[in-house]
Structure 1
């Protein structure tokens, strides 16, 4: 079975299906800020030290699920899906992942909506950029909800997966406009923080994982996405996350980034 090919002119490897034998990884970033991303947007990033400055949580023992990651959910009426296929696994009308030199571009389409996700770390910047471009390819107006989702690691990648009693009491967040701050203490010091921001007005947000997912639910069908309504949760301990909720209307043929 063929999973992809090299596009020599574009200097990219093109993956034509999300169902590769194992996660196929690309590397983002430079010396100070680094990330790994799979063809389904799984992976993590860190600042300078992969163990002690881990920013996004990744569950290694979840192989072959490839979880967690940088996820986007699109809610179109009662239907919802992810352009990266994971974690919803709703069948797309089209899928393509292009791993380039320091960037990854994932394109998915479903029910008259085309979504392009671009992930990169700009040179000289200690941040990861996620660019979402939506196009209405249908002949009817589309009223959509877009949800982002990342789960914060509690800085130390080893401590993050042990000593749960302590971990569940340390999570701390702050919300300022469209920026969701991860202010959880780092080795008893509070001079480290991370944030996830968007350049659009918010319909709502979530910073508490349990509130985002709902009881007995997982990333495949989070309660907030399924219901199309944010609860504006503010995490205090437990597992802090960052999720933006944006509503938008696209006319036929309209594209918005």
Structure 2
């Protein structure tokens, strides 16, 4: 069965059948704020770190597949449907998903009403924008009800799924006009909050999941949507969500744009509050004002397209084979940049919870993108080297939020030190920047332990030659060189690579 096709002119993959064999996903964002989105609008968002700054909740390996995302429910008479088909799975008259360079467009049509959603993260912005365009394609006026929906994660994606005795007591929101703020633990120990807004007055809202969905319902049949009215619920503990309710009428042929924003804000400690108990919303209002019209959103989207035009324009081939050109000029380079941003720490196959950025992975990834963004490659090398131990050993992973080694995984992967040499050499060969070798870099991020990067490379090499097996070959540690080779797990004898 054919599920879609490549649109090389627009650098997009077009999906024409929502029931793909697995969710086919795209990655939004290229610095600090990131989202994963499937072809049916499933997925999640986070700031820098998919474990410690998870913004929206997602269910892995669940039934049904790909549960949780940024959903729009349309109630048109007695028919309830979603532009991305899920979660209601109402058969659509037309469906299309376009995965592009850091953006996705999902379009659905039912009974003469078209809903087209553009999802992207603007450059240098800690927010995901959705421009939802609603079009009445009939020759009669059409009135319908629209419900937005996201589900907040309680920041730490691991404890969000573990400590329910605590979680069910801490969820907290604040509603201000058309914006719903997620401020769980803000007054106790955090300096950050998230928000979900729409650029028009709303007719109602919900922030309590049980009220909106119903205790024994799924995402496919929320009580509020089925009944066609919100409850204006205010979450206090339990599971906070954000849902806007709008009543819309479109004339024949009329289109209307709605701008939704999922944003993240950090406030300095002495600027946390507007007044007692009221969070400082000034940064959020300023962010919303940057994207509160279609024109502003279109400008930001054009800037994102230009950014990728420039990145992909630095290297290209013309082989005479359109398939080879497509992979080299578009999708391979795009994949290399996405891999750099995430280092495989977050996807639909890595939850973003059990690991951080890989030491080995990130050094390997440098080869794929260093020609595109050499300055960020240089920064990444310094970040990686800063987690190394004085004896040349390494943490196998580090958390991108703190840039500190991941104690949960630890070290003992004896090949990791050599990959720092590999990544640094790749950077120097591409840029000619030998000054990086003189850059002061700490061990284990301890102030005062700084030595030159060149010294880090020396101890990396020494760590390998000082850990040899009985035949003088490098000693295998934990999952060395290949994550499936973990031979010492099954033996008390030293094994060699």
Q: Could you tell me the TM-score, scaled by structure 2's length?
A: 0.51
- Provide structure 2 residue ranges, at least 5 long, that are not aligned to the other structure: 258-497
**Corresponding residue SS for 2:27:** strand
**1:30-69 correspondence runs (5 A):** 30-62=30-62, 65-69=65-69
Q: Which moved more, 1:199-208 or 1:64-73?
A: 64-73
How far the C-alpha of 1:61 sits from its partner, in A, is: 2.8
Q: Which has the higher helix share?
A: 2
Deviations 1:9-41 (A, max 9, x none): 110000001100001010000221011000000
Q: Which has the higher strand share?
A: 1
**Corresponding residue SS for 1:128:** strand
What corresponds to 2:194 in structure 1? 194
What corresponds to 1:246 in structure 2? 246
**Corresponding residue SS for 1:62:** coil
Q: How many residues align?
A: 257
How far the C-alpha of 1:190 sits from its partner, in A, is: 3.1
- Provide structure 1 residue ranges, at least 5 long, that are not aligned to the other structure: none
User: d(CA) in 1 for partners of 2:187 and 2:252?
Assistant: 52
Contact 2:31 2:124 in 1 (8 A): no
Deviations 1:204-232 (A, max 9, x none): 00000000012321110111001111110
Deviations 1:169-199 (A, max 9, x none): 0100000010100000169513110000000
**Corresponding residue SS for 2:140:** coil
User: RMSD of the TM alignment (CA)?
Assistant: 1.2
What corresponds to 2:216 in structure 1? 216
User: d(CA) in 2 for partners of 1:215 and 1:142?
Assistant: 32
Deviations 1:144-192 (A, max 9, x none): 1111000000000100110111110010000001010000016951311
What corresponds to 1:181 in structure 2? 181
User: d(CA) in 1 for partners of 2:190 and 2:246?
Assistant: 30
Q: Which moved more, 1:59-68 or 1:88-97?
A: 59-68
Is residue 97 of structure 2 the alignment partner of residue 97 of structure 1?
Answer: yes
Which of 1 and 2 has higher RCO (CA within 8 Å, sep 6+)?
Answer: 1
Is residue 4 of structure 2 the alignment partner of residue 4 of structure 1?
Answer: yes
Contact 1:151 1:241 in 2 (8 A): yes
Is residue 159 of structure 2 the alignment partner of residue 166 of structure 1?
Answer: no
**Corresponding residue SS for 1:59:** coil
User: d(CA) in 1 for partners of 2:4 and 2:11?
Assistant: 14
**Corresponding residue SS for 1:229:** coil
Q: Could you tell me the TM-score, scaled by structure 1's length?
A: 0.98
Deviations 1:216-251 (A, max 9, x none): 211101110011111100000000000000111011
